[in-house]
Structure 1
């Protein structure tokens, strides 16, 4: 996934049948792009924690997530 968008993330969650037992971690650049797309679609409103379809989306601050990759993290 080159650019991670709101629609692309929703499709990824649905296609992979993700549940709230995982969170998605993104590279900071991809996280920022996704948040900006989300804000455009939702009238500049964002929930905390940031979730799409009940899946929490986090920014990777460790440098462990490669740009344009989606990292799944177990939260249970």
Structure 2
């Protein structure tokens, strides 16, 4: 995936038929890019937790997720 955008993330979720049993983790730079795009589209308003189509979007703080890639995390215990 190139630079991560709101539309790109929506398509990623829809194409993979993801449900709220997962969360998506992004590299901090990619997370920032997505948040900025989201704010532009939604009039500078953002929900907490940050979700797109009911899927929580998290910032990776472990250094494990490369820039411009998405890690799918299983949220079911």
TM-score when normalising by structure 1: 0.99
Equivalent residue number for residue 28 of structure 2: 28
Q: Which runs of 5+ in 2 are unaligned?
A: none
Q: Which runs of 5+ in 1 are unaligned?
A: none
Secondary structure at the counterpart of residue 73 of structure 1? strand
Give the CA deviation at 1:2: 1.2
Equivalent residue number for residue 67 of structure 1: 67
Output one character per residue of 1:14-66: Cα deviation in whole Å (capped at 9) or x when no partner.
00000000000000000000000000000000000000000000000000101
TM-score when normalising by structure 2: 0.98
